[in-house]
Every structure is written in C-alpha cells, then in structure tokens.
C-alpha cells in the first residue's frame, strides 16, 4: 500500500510534501520523509511554547541566513543539517531539514548477518567511540582509519567554531547529535533546532550524559531559575567538543576510570561527572586510572592509557587535552576554544605517518619524536630514513620557528599554507590556494621534493634556484626558501633514522 502524501505551505512560502509514515523518532520529534527523500519534516510531539517558536523562527531565518548565505555558505551545508523552515499540520508544529547524505548511513551492517539491524541506519557517533562497538560490532568497511578520525575531528571543531562565532551554542553536542563517516572523514551536526543564544534563548536540555560539563552536573538539582544553576553555553560546548575528540581518537572516555565515589550509582555518577571529576590521565592524581583487568583483546591497547596515552595524538593535541581535562575541567575559562582545537588538528595532520605494517587497522600514526618512530596501535617501528620539515618564518630580521612541522611520506603534497604563514587552511581558502605547489617522492632510497608551483624556491645557503618542474634532493640541514614576501617560509630539513630492515 502506497503511503499518503501530505502537502503543506511552509512558513517561508515553500510547498512542502511528506509521506504519511514515520521513518524515525527521537526524544522530542517524529520524522517523516519527502516523496523524493531530499528533505524531512520533523513534528514535535509536545507543542512548543511561544519562546520556542520564536527560537525556531530565528534559527530558520536570521541565524540560518547569517551562516549559509554568507561567505563559504555552501561549505557549512556539508557540516550542518540545519532546519530551513517551519510547518504546521494537525495542531502540530514541525521543522523542515535536509535529508542526510548517503555516506551517513550504514551500508554493510553489523556482524553475523547484521544481527544489530543497523544496515540503513544513520551513523551516530556512539558506534565509533569505543573499541567494543568498533571492533566487535562494525563491519571493517565501516570503521575507517586514524587519519579519517583526525579529519572528522577537524571538521567538527571547525563547525563548532563557526557556530560559536555567530554567538550560538549547540547545548547538546554528543554522540547522538553528530553523524560520522570515518571512511571519508565527513561529519554532520544535527538537531540544531535547540540552539542556545545567551541572554535570549536559554537551553531546552542540559545535554547528554558523558558530555555534560561538570559545572552543569553539579548544579543540576537546583531550580532552573536559581542564579547558581549553570546551564549549557559556549563554554560547556567546549567541554563536550574536547570529550568528543578524545573519545574518537583514543576510543575511551576521559573521565570514566576506576574510581568509585559513592555506593549509590546515581550519586556516584553525579560525583564522577561533576564535583569529583578527574582526568584518567592526570599526571599527579592517579586515583581515576583505568583498570585493564578483564579487558577484551579487541579493547587493547585502547583502554590502557599506559600503553596508549594521549601523547600518541601528538604534542599539539596533548597540550589541549591537559587544558580541557586538568586546567579547565573545573574552570571553564581555561578550556580550549573550538578555534584552538581546529588549529591544533591542522598541525597534527601534518605530523601523520602511514604505518609500514599493511595489516595495521589504523593505518596511520603521529610522529612523536621517538627514535626510531613507532606506530602506537600495532607496535611496528618505522624503517629507513624519515624526512622532517621544520617551518620557519621571518619576524624582524630573523627567521623564527612557527611551531609547525611537516612529516614527509611518499606522494605527500605540499600546499600554499605550508610555505606561507599568512595562508590558513579553512573554509575561506580560495581555489588558487587549494592546489598543491609540490610533492615528495622516494626513489631508490633517496627523497626528493618536486617543485610544481613555487617560482621563487631556492637553496637558502647557496642561493641556487630550484625552478618549477625541477626536483631537489632532501638531506639533513638543507634550507629551502619559498620566497621573500612577508609570511613566506624557510623550510629546514632534518632526517630521522628509523630501524633497519
């Protein structure tokens, strides 16, 4: 029997159609699909009050226009499933939003002939944030590799940075409100119809367990209008973002360790996530260390911070994890912003190395200055020479380090932002700066940089030019100057010796 199709006129004047069959239900809404499955209509079960309706009007109107009709609007459409308008039908109010892209639905299901019935379901973040879920339940073709997780964390931070720049907070950033496609590094934030606008639209929910900031947990028993009650905001979003990044890269929660605070499980949870919250990798307080007793083989090394500490994510992220879960855990002002996470993730991607073990499930790892370099996921040591480029730029009369390095591997591309400090790889990057300017290749044990788009490239010590189309052999202490304009960089080469074959 064919589903009946309902036709409505939306608040913005558009004609909206949907099939009369619920395709999904959440805590607050029932979702219906359009005949062509290019958008959905989600009706609230409980009628929104006048303030909630005003919030929806602002979210589908001025706030949406500010983000999607401004600079890089098409880019943000990839990262948000943002409501476009509202509708009314049968005494209910609903929102219209784009349908999720195909890559956000499971294609291969779960183990044992899709015993969990997830084929065709949306890829909520919970499936990718624990080793038990990933390696016991998911088809290997759905898991992706570690580089993919870095990329989706970068895009998640970038999306939240844009939201916060508009003065908005998500208020419920969590596994259930973020869709992930690790095989392609894609991410989409959903359920944005409850956005928080400080001093105008307060939050409707306090968040999702695991992601609620300690100060919100601590004051949750107070009346909502009590001035001591802490409600979700941009600073609590920052906590949730840090938890999400840590969990996706290390497959464990940063605060869920072995410490028991109370016999009553409800009180224990309140203390563990609130007043008594302690980072499981705290350098001084070891009371909440994870216990690996009874861990399943698929959970190792993930649940063992001694074997896989957060230093495995590289120096830039390690600093931010310490700020988020030590300095800023109970002091929101100390938490890293989404912009800081974005910057650190960009530089961390430049430290990535492919694992030389073809059977390594993660496939990539971050160089951590160890000699010889070693993959923390499978234990394989890097063999051969590994070129490292340290980036410098001119301040005054001297070239100074930019706290940015590039780890070389064969066919790695060199982009304009690597050779010019004034160029930032983000959504505003013009097309001309998205094209690579060179690439690295290993040939018969020797490493070369092939110049494709750096007309001023030269040896800084000898002034010998390296013209476009030529290649230069990499060796320790080689200094390459990309140009003399402000911001253009000096590339200092060093060669790290790996193990022997």
383-497: what fold?
A: Tumour Suppressor Smad4 (2.60.200)
The DSSP element (H or E) to which 9 belongs, if any, is strand 5-9
What's residue 441's pLDDT?
A: 97
Q: Is the peptide bond prior to 435 cis by the omega test (within 30 degrees of 0)? A: no
Q: Helix/strand/coil (H, E, C) string of 382-406?
A: CECEEEEEEEEEEECCEEEEEEEEE
**Cβ-based neighbours of 261, under 8 Å, separated by 6 or more:** 267, 268, 271, 272, 276
Helix (H, G, I), strand (E, B) or coil at 226: coil
Rounded Cα distance, 162 and 425, in Å: 15
What's residue 19's pLDDT?
A: 94
CB 89 within 8 A of CB 80: no
Secondary structure letter of residue 289 according to DSSP:
P
What's residue 369's pLDDT?
A: 77
pLDDT averaged over 10-residue windows placed end to end, the chain, 501 residues? 86 95 86 93 91 91 91 92 94 94 88 80 90 88 94 97 94 93 93 84 86 96 89 95 98 96 95 97 94 84 93 96 98 98 97 96 89 90 93 92 95 97 95 96 95 97 96 97 95 85 52
What's residue 500's pLDDT?
A: 60
What's the number of CA atoms in the CB half-sphere (13 Å) around residue 229?
Answer: 12
Rounded Cα distance, 259 and 277, in Å: 10
104-251+279-350: what fold?
A: Transferase(Phosphotransferase); domain 1 (1.10.510)
C-beta atoms surrounding 137 within 10 Å = 17
Distance of CA 270 to the CA centre of its chain: 27
What CA–CA distances, in Å, run from 424 to 14, 151, 417, 420?
38, 16, 6, 9
Cα–Cα nearest to 18, from 30, 319, 189, 328: 30
Tell me the pTM: 0.95
What's residue 334's pLDDT?
A: 97
Helix (H, G, I), strand (E, B) or coil at 152: helix
What's residue 1's pLDDT?
A: 52
Whether domain 5-99 has CATH 3.30.200.20: the reply is yes
What's the number of CA atoms in the CB half-sphere (13 Å) around residue 497?
Answer: 2
For residues 409-426, one letter each, b for 16 or more C-beta atoms within 10 angstroms of the residue's C-beta and e for the rest, the string is eeebebbbbbbbbebebb
What's residue 499's pLDDT?
A: 65
Please state the domain extents for the chain: 5-99, 104-251+279-350, 352-380, 383-497
């Amino acid at each position: 029997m064919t589903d009946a199709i309902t036709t409505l006129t939306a608040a913005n004047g558009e004609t909206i159609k949907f099939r009369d069959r619920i395709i999904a239900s959440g805590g607050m809404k029932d979702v219906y699909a359009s005949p062509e499955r290019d958008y959905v209509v989600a009706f609230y079960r409980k009628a929104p009050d006048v303030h909630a309706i005003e919030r929806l009007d602002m979210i589908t109107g001025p706030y949406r226009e500010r983000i999607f009709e401004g600079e890089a609007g098409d880019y943000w459409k990839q990262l948000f499933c943002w409501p476009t308008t509202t509708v009314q039908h049968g005494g209910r109010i609903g929102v219209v939003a784009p349908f999720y892209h195909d890559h956000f639905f499971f294609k291969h299901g779960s183990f044992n002939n899709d015993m969990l019935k997830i084929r065709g379901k949306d890829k909520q973040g919970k499936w990718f944030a624990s080793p038990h879920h990933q390696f016991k339940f998911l088809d290997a073709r759905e898991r992706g590799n570690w580089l993919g997780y870095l990329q989706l964390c970068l895009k998640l931070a970038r999306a939240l940075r844009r939201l916060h720049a508009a003065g908005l907070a998500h208020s419920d950033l969590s596994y259930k409100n973020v869709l992930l496609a690790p095989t392609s590094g894609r991410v989409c934030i959903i359920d944005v119809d409850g956005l928080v606008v400080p001093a105008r639209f307060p939050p409707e929910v306090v968040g999702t367990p695991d992601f609620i900031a300690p100060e919100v947990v601590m004051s949750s028993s107070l009346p909502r209008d009590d001035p001591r009650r802490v409600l979700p905001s941009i600073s609590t979003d920052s906590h949730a973002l840090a938890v999400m990044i840590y969990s996706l890269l290390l497959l464990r929660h940063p605060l869920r360790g072995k410490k028991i605070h109370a016999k009553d499980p409800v009180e224990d949870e309140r203390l563990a996530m609130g007043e008594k919250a302690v980072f499981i990798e705290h350098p001084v307080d070891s009371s909440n260390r994870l216990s690996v007793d009874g861990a399943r083989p698929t959970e190792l090394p993930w649940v063992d911070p001694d074997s896989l500490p957060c230093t495995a994510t590289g120096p830039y992220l390690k600093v931010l994890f310490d700020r988020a879960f030590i300095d800023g855990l109970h002091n929101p002002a100390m938490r890293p912003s989404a912009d800081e996470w974005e910057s650190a993730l960009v530089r961390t991607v430049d430290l990535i190395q492919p694992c030389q073990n073809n059977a390594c499930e993660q496939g990539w790892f971050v160089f951590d200055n160890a000699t010889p370099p070693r993959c923390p996921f499978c234990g394989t040591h890097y063999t051969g020479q590994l070129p490292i480029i340290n980036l410098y730029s001119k301040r005054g009369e001297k070239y100074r380090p930019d706290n940015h390095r590039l780890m070389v591997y064969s066919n790695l591309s060199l982009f304009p932002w690597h050779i010019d400090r004034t160029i930032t790889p983000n959504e505003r990057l013009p097309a001309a700066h998205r094209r690579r300017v060179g690439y690295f290749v290993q040939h018969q044990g020797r490493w070369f940089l092939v110049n494709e788009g750096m007309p001023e490239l030269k040896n800084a010590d000898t002034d010998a030019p390296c013209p476009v189309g030529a290649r230069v052999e990499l060796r320790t202490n080689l200094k390459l100057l990309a140009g003399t304009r402000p911001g253009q960089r000096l590339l200092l080469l060093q060669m790290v010796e790996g193990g022997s074959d």
